[in-house]
Amino acid sequence: MSPAERLRFWILAAQRDGHRLLAEALAPIGLTPAQAEVLAIVDECGALSLQGVGDRLVCETGRPSRLVDAIVNAGLLRREDDPSDRRRLTLTLTTEGRRALRRARKVEATLHDYIASVLSPDELAVVTAALQRLTANLPAGRSLMTRTKASGRSP
């Protein structure tokens, strides 16, 4: 196995295991990792259009309409007319959505603590920088850059 192939499989393994752990921990809240990500995006960026959510979504490509519909139907997001353009709708968090997001962030913090307990701060910085370079010109990497720029956080 070449070094690049080995890296690809380690990235895949980390993603699959991380997703599985997160999904299991979010299940009691009634959220999937993708739904939790949508709630976080709307919270970080404020009222957004469906396209605005899709531009920032890392967990899923394409149009997030079914994902967002499920969250709206669960009462966690509200669709409202955009005050600047009545042809568009914006998405905002409901009180229940804020409550679910607080719980989801606690779950995510546990996973982040695990990652930080395994990798040193220097290793985290090196791996993050390498993955950022690797994905910079790919769809999910661009979505993450859009999201981090909009929230004022570094990528």
The pTM score is: 0.87
- What mean pLDDT comes out for the span 123-128? 96
Sign for the CA dihedral angle at 139, 140, 146, 149 comes to negative
Question: What pLDDT score does 118 carry?
Answer: 96
Indicate the average pLDDT of the chain.
90
Is 150 domain-assigned? no
Structure tokens at 112: 């982040």
Is 120 domain-assigned? yes
| Residue closest to 74 by CA, chosen among 99, 57, 56 | 99
- What mean pLDDT comes out for the span 98-110? 97
Residue 35's domain comprises 3-145
Which amino acid is present at 106? K
Is 94 domain-assigned? yes
Contact 54, 69 (CB under 8 A): no
Is 28 domain-assigned? yes
pLDDT at 69 over 80: yes
Is 154 domain-assigned? no
Is 61 domain-assigned? yes
Question: What pLDDT score does 152 carry?
Answer: 56
In angstroms, the CA 59 to CA 54 distance is 10
Is 155 domain-assigned? no
| CATH assignment of the domain containing 141 | 1.10.10.10
| Residue closest to 143 by CA, chosen among 38, 32, 12 | 38
Is 92 domain-assigned? yes
Total structural domains within the chain = 1
pLDDT digits (tens, 9 = 90+) for 23-63: 999 999 999 999 999 999 999 998 888 888 988 988 876 67
Question: What pLDDT score does 41 carry?
Answer: 94
